């Protein structure tokens, strides 16, 4: 009833008794009521009051029954107040005129004499419908705006090396298809950016892009998070909730770190992806879904299949096409291009318009192996921009040592520097594979991720 109570209604009828009766009836249910017996006052009344709904009689001259004048005013109302619902008031038996009015844009009609309950119900239903349409439009506009902002923030893949060009050629080939994509690459290479590039060039670009970090979802919540649940399905299920599969309807679902899925979850995912049908927790009702699936991992899923920690049939399902994102050390010439791009970005962000980088600084960055890849480079430059006191970034501003990427010896007793060096070396040995690097270092994956964040390596 909320939409009804806040509404403003304009009534146009040549009979004063009708206007008075309707006003007395409606003022108990709506926010405000405005009336006029003269249709020529309509433009002024609309400008002054901006009604949410209009009740319009079809005959204004004494003895008139054709409704022609009312139909003419209906057309003018549609021009004057586009989107405002108009309910026609007709004499009993004028069904043909009412049907014609509906064809010309009226929302509904009521007959004289009316039943009060039916009149109120008709007005309420009309207002509720319009309110719902406005909410849907606002949601669509908001979604479109957010998608645009995300596209702007996510940027484009920058680089001119043959390695990255090969990746982009594959992206362009597969984007317009609905093929499932598996993106492989070391930590920080830009797998999410590749996924967004595929989505933005696809036929689904105007619909949602849903990213899910699979490794961040506890095993106990996997089914609810992806399949959704009904109210009361479990202790904390206080309301219905759609899952990520359904949230990605008609868009793209990006599953990052797919290798972290347990075998039990893999089985459920395989069934859903084979049939594109899900069943929310707490119900037996099947829900069809339609989305484009893109997965990413820095693990070797083929090795995981051999070790029976990843289902082979699921791997076949998700990797119709595999795209390898090259590590930064294999992208000849791109370090300089990316460095200049990030400096321009942070010059604007941190209000340092005169900032540049020296040749020595650029040489140092180009000689470093970047185990954290593009993400590590970006964090390194941002930190240098924040902390440097001069307008030229020198090699000392970057707090890296190119020898760290290849030396087996520890040349300092500083624990933190040695820890960073060992992590870098483990990542290089295992080509960015987090699981293997963590095992080599005697850490859990979570502990290694914390250290990667601490040292700006992810």
Where in the sequence of the chain do the CATH 3.40.50.2300 domains occur?
2-132
- What residues contact 160, with CB distance under 8 A and at least 6 apart? 333, 334, 337
> What is the reported pLDDT for 185?
92
What pLDDT shows up at residue 406?
A: 41
DSSP secondary structure letters along 104-124: TT--EEEEESPPHHHHHHHHH
How is residue 311 written in tokens?
């289902």
Parts of the chain belonging to CATH 1.10.8.60: 329-454
pLDDT in tens, the chain (458 residues): 566 777 889 998 888 888 898 888 888 888 889 888 888 888 888 888 888 889 888 877 665 556 777 788 888 888 887 778 888 888 755 777 878 888 888 888 888 888 888 888 888 888 888 877 777 776 766 666 565 555 544 457 899 999 999 999 999 999 999 999 999 999 899 999 999 999 999 999 989 999 999 988 888 889 999 999 888 777 777 788 889 999 999 999 999 999 999 999 999 999 999 999 999 988 888 899 999 999 999 988 999 999 999 999 999 999 999 999 999 999 999 999 999 999 999 999 999 999 999 999 999 999 898 988 999 999 999 999 999 989 999 989 998 865 544 444 455 556 666 788 788 878 877 777 788 888 888 888 778 878 887 776 76
Q: Which residues contact 131 (CB under 8 A, 6 or more apart)?
A: 3
Q: Which CATH class is domain 162-326?
A: alpha beta
3-state SS of the chain? CHHHHCCEEEEECCCHHHHHHHHHHHCCCCCEEEEECCHHHHHHHHHHHCCCEEEEECCCCCCCCCCHHHHHHHHHHHHHCCCCCEEEEEECCCHHHHHHHHHCCCCEEEEECCCHHHHHHHHHHHHHHHHHHHHHHHHHHHHHHHHHHHHHHHCCCCCCCHHHHHHHHHHHHHHCCCCCEEEECCCCCCHHHHHHHHHHCCCCCCCCEEEEEHHHCCHHHHHHHHHCECCCCCCCCCCCECCHHHHCCCCEEEEECHHHCCHHHHHHHHHHHHHCEECCECCCCCEECCCEEEEEECCCHHHHHHCCCCCHHHHHHHCCEEEECCCHHHCCCHHHHHHHHHHHHHHHHCCCCCCEECHHHHHHHHHCCCCCHHHHHHHHHHHHHHHCCCCEECHHHHCCCHHHHCCCCCCCCCHHHHHHHHHHHHHHHCCCCHHHHHHHHCCCHHHHHHHHHHCCCC
pTM (2 d.p.): 0.61
11: β partners: 35, 55
Q: Where, residue-wise, is CATH 3.40.50.300 in the chain?
A: 162-326
The C-alpha atoms of residue 172 and residue 292 are separated, in whole angstroms, by 16
Cβ-count burial of 349 within 10 angstroms (0-12 exposed, 13-18 middle, 19+ buried)? Answer: exposed
* 453/83 Cα distance (integer angstroms): 52
Distances (CA, A) of 242 to 281, 288, 339: 10, 13, 42
pLDDT of 150 reads 53
Report the candidate in 111, 44, 119 with the shortest Cα–Cα distance to residue 76.
Answer: 44
93 three-state secondary structure: coil
How far from chain centre, in Å, is Cα 339? Answer: 29
User: Token pair of 135, please?
Assistant: 């909410």
**pLDDT of amino acid 65:** 59
Under CATH, what is the fold of the domain 329-454? Answer: Helicase, Ruva Protein; domain 3 (1.10.8)
Class of domain 2-132 as given by CATH: alpha beta
Report yes or no: 394 and 355 within 8 Å, Cβ to Cβ.
no
Token pair 């419908």 in the structure block, residue: 129
């Amino acid at each position: 009833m909320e939409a009804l109570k806040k509404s403003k209604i304009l009534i146009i009828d040549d009979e004063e008794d009708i206007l008075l009766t309707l006003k007395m009836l409606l003022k108990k249910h709506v926010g405000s009521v405005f009336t006029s017996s003269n249709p020529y006052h309509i433009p002024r009344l609309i400008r002054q009051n901006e009604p949410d709904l209009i009740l319009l009689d079809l005959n204004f001259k004494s003895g008139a029954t054709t409704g022609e004048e009312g139909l003419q005013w209906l057309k003018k109302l549609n021009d004057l107040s586009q989107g405002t619902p108009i309910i026609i008031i007709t004499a009993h038996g004028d069904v043909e005129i009412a049907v014609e009015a509906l064809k010309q844009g009226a929302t509904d009609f009521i007959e004289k004499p009316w039943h009060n309950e039916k009149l109120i119900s008709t007005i309420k239903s009309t207002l509720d419908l319009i309110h719902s349409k406005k909410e849907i439009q606002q949601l669509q506009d908001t979604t479109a705006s957010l998608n645009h902002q995300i596209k702007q923030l996510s940027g484009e893949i920058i680089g001119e090396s043959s390695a990255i060009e090969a990746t982009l050629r594959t992206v362009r080939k597969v984007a317009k298809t609905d093929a499932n994509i598996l993106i492989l690459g070391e930590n920080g290479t830009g797998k999410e950016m590749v996924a967004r590039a595929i989505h933005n060039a696809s036929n689904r670009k105007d619909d949602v892009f849903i990213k899910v970090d699979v490794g961040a979802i506890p095993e106990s919540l996997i089914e609810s998070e992806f399949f959704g649940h009904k109210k009361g399905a479990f202790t904390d299920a206080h309301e219905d909730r759609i899952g990520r599969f359904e949230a990605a309807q008609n868009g793209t679902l990006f599953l990052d770190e797919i290798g972290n899925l347990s075998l039990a979850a893999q089985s459920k995912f395989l069934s859903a992806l084979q049939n594109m049908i899900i069943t929310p927790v707490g119900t037996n009702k099947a829900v069809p879904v339609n989305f484009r699936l893109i997965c990413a991992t820095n693990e070797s899923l083929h090795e995981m299949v051999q070790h029976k920690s990843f289902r082979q049939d699921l791997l076949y399902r998700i990797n119709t096409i595999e795209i390898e994102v090259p590590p930064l050390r294999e992208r000849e010439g791109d370090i300089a291009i990316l460095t200049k791009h990030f400096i321009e970005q942070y010059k604007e962000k941190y209000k340092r318009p005169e900032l540049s980088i020296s040749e020595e600084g650029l040489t140092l960055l180009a000689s470093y192996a970047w185990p954290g890849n593009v993400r590590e480079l970006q964090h390194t430059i941002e930190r240098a921009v924040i902390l440097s006191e001069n307008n030229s970034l020198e090699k000392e501003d970057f707090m890296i040592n190119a020898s760290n990427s290849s030396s087996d010896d520890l040349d300092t007793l500083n624990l933190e520097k040695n820890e960073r060096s060992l992590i870098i070396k483990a990542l290089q040995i295992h080509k960015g594979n987090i699981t293997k690097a963590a095992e080599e270092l005697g850490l859990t994956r979570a502990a290694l991720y914390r250290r990667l964040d601490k040292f700006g390596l992810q």
